[in-house]
Structure 1
Amino acid sequence: MTDGYSAWAPLVVTPADIGAEAAPGGLIGHLRELDGLDALLVREKALVFRGFQVSTAELDTVLDLLLPNRLAYVNGNSPRTKVGQNVYTSTEYPPEYTISMHNELSYAHQWPSRLVFFCEQAAETGGATPVVDGVRWLAALDPEVREGFAGGVRYAQNLHGGTGFGKSWQDTFETDDRDEVERLLAGTGADHAWTRDGGLRVSQIRPSTLRHPVTGAEVWFNQADQWHAAGLGDETAAALHRIMPEKDLPQSVAFADGSPIPAEYITQIRDRGLESAVDVDWRSGDVLLIDNMLVGHGRRSFTGRRRVLVAMSD
């Protein structure tokens, strides 16, 4: 592609680049002495620290230096497991599926500004984490699609109370306390209601694009293609609609005024995001830091065992 954005890729930092030891201590010492990490990340959008042989034993120390305030994955919609102090498996979707591009928690009232991915074990084949420049993704969409989304999007969640299809509200908000859920939702602009069977319905309107607070760049920043049945593929979407109406799906999305989003818009968003992305091909011990507003991420399909952990901060 020759659209002006195709040259972008994450900055890869190796021990040789910074004159450090090819060991976890080399990266930790570099991060402790590094001035201007914030400015570097905004300029480069994503950083890959490679060749430092980081293991889970050093991960907490590395995360403390990269993420000033590690956050819990509250109100997340992706299946994952908590494995440490606000450290999670990156996703538990089956390996044969590609996960489309997205900015973490872009559907929520608050989202993390930074993400760190750590490759504990690289897949046998595949399994890259594609990353996409949000400006490029926006530019790749047809004007008709951008105009259609100008008013924002309405997200809807149906969270069961312990058994059912999709995620429970207990797993989503990491609590069994309804009062705590009410507290978490207060001030978010979301409408919510408890259902007779112990579930929770949540609906909120969010913008489709945002401007980065430092660069001012306008980026595509929503997860409409992941919340829309058409983003799952024709066969899966048809099967879901045979089971239940769209309003009862675990998650769904519409334009802000409630009107349906055309399926062809969704597939264009999904496909052009992936086409515009650059793959980070994992090596065990790699650490990837991204600006969650400037860069979207996803996952390529893979074979063999793959274990990538993620943490986030505001």
Structure 2
Amino acid sequence: MTAQAATDDLAGIAVTEAPGGDLAAFVASRAEELGRALAEHGAFLVRGCAGGGPEEFRRVVDALGFAPLPYTERSTPRDEVTSGVYTSTEYPAREVIPQHCESSYAGAWPGRLAFFCATAPESGGATPIADVAAVLRDVPADVVETVRARGLRYVRNYGSGVGLDWRAAFQTESREDVERFCAAGGLSWEWLEDDCLRTVRHAPGLAVHPRTGVPVWFNHLVLFHQSALRPEIREALIAVLGEDRLPNDVLYGDGTPIPDAVVDAVRGAFARHTRRFSWRPGDLLVIDNMRWSHGREAFTGERRILVSMSDAISREA
């Protein structure tokens, strides 16, 4: 898919135009105001300050009051460029990343995400976001009720040569470390031939925001479902690996496949509630991970978006 040419749509996002200068200093000086904006809107964008790299962004993260979280139970390739600061998902520029709430497939996830534009792409490359409470209201009622009643089953396979190896996903060389992580985090696991690992997690597809009490659509359905793959890639992977050995898949909680048409209906709801803007160097976007999902457009040119995560929320909590 080629990079998109699209207009900015910042509806629902609090936007602050800074008068130039150092972003970390500006954020520190406006900390209370930005905190209120995040509480009210769930997302704010600061633009107009100088750009920079990982160390500058780390100072911004500190000014935001983040206690940066490690990226565990990984689903995409990315690098930690300085403590608590990661590159955004390192997929080829032509690939689109569907809407998702960070780590909604996992036993714990960040409550806040901060994105920083170190290098803006030539075209495309936005990080679109969608209001997941509005998405839930827009998903067909029968789909919502089925997901509510049956839950979801995330099946992940590591080490087939496609997707992440288990060492990269769990950031360890030790099988025992992986097993301890899975046991503590509610994952079932199975070691397969050729040093491969399969994990399975049963989880609800809906959630209630812990602060606002608002129900939200909170899952990885449109990103992990087989239909997220281009048809020719999906067909080829199933032919080579088998239906149950794809790197990521999501089924109903009882193991029944979810029809493509159901996922298409959810994609339609996301499309109707997605907001996007073109990155400028130095832009800072902070979102509440349980109020807004995010994704990535295809792009041309060089693109470097950094991300940091904070405020862990556990499934048990």
TM-score, normalized by length of structure 1?
A: 0.90
Amino acid of the structure 1 residue aligned with 2:151: G
5 Å matches for 1:213-232? 213-232=210-229
5 Å matches for 1:76-115? 76-115=74-113
Shift of residue 59, structure 1, vs aligned partner: 1.2
Identify the residue that residue 154 of structure 1 maps to in structure 2: 153
- Aligned mate of 1:209, from 199, 206, 209: 206
How far apart, in 2, do the equivalents of 1:275 and 1:243 lie? Answer: 36
Shift of residue 177, structure 1, vs aligned partner: 2.0
How far apart, in 2, do the equivalents of 1:268 and 1:182 lie? Answer: 36
Identify the residue that residue 269 of structure 1 maps to in structure 2: 266
Amino acid of the structure 1 residue aligned with 2:291: L
Is 2:239 the partner of 1:242? yes
Q: Is the 8 A contact 1:114 1:290 kept in 2?
A: yes
Shift of residue 97, structure 1, vs aligned partner: 2.1
Q: Is the 8 A contact 1:90 1:308 kept in 2?
A: yes
Relative distance call for 1:147 and 1:31 in structure 2 (3 A) is same
Identify the residue that residue 139 of structure 1 maps to in structure 2: 137
Query: Residues 214-267 of structure 1, C-alpha deviation per residue, up to 9 Å, x if partnerless?
Result: 111111100112111112233332222222222111111110111110111112
Q: Is the 8 A contact 2:10 2:275 kept in 1?
A: no
Shift of residue 145, structure 1, vs aligned partner: 1.5
Query: Residues 10-52 of structure 1, C-alpha deviation per residue, up to 9 Å, x if partnerless?
Result: 111122xxxxx51115x42442563375443121111111001
Relative distance call for 1:188 and 1:156 in structure 2 (3 A) is same
Q: Is the 8 A contact 1:67 1:312 kept in 2?
A: no
30-39 or 229-238: which moved more? Answer: 30-39
Shift of residue 159, structure 1, vs aligned partner: 1.0
Amino acid of the structure 2 residue aligned with 1:157: R
Identify the residue that residue 304 of structure 1 maps to in structure 2: 301
Is 2:21 the partner of 1:23? yes
How far apart, in 1, do the equivalents of 2:82 and 2:90 lie? Answer: 16
Shift of residue 8, structure 1, vs aligned partner: 4.0
Identify the residue that residue 11 of structure 1 maps to in structure 2: 14
Identify the residue that residue 18 of structure 1 maps to in structure 2: none
Identity %: 37
Q: Is the 8 A contact 2:10 2:277 kept in 1?
A: no
Amino acid of the structure 1 residue aligned with 2:288: D
Amino acid of the structure 2 residue aligned with 1:10: I
Relative distance call for 1:182 and 1:72 in structure 2 (3 A) is same
Shift of residue 123, structure 1, vs aligned partner: 0.7
126-135 or 82-91: which moved more? Answer: 82-91
Q: Is the 8 A contact 2:101 2:220 kept in 1?
A: yes
Identify the residue that residue 72 of structure 1 maps to in structure 2: 70
How far apart, in 2, do the equivalents of 1:251 and 1:257 lie? Answer: 17
How far apart, in 2, do the equivalents of 1:118 and 1:41 lie? Answer: 16
Match of 1:58, SS state, is: helix
Relative distance call for 1:7 and 1:141 in structure 2 (3 A) is farther
User: How many pairs are equivalent?
Assistant: 301
Q: Which runs of 5+ in 1 are unaligned?
A: 1-5, 16-20
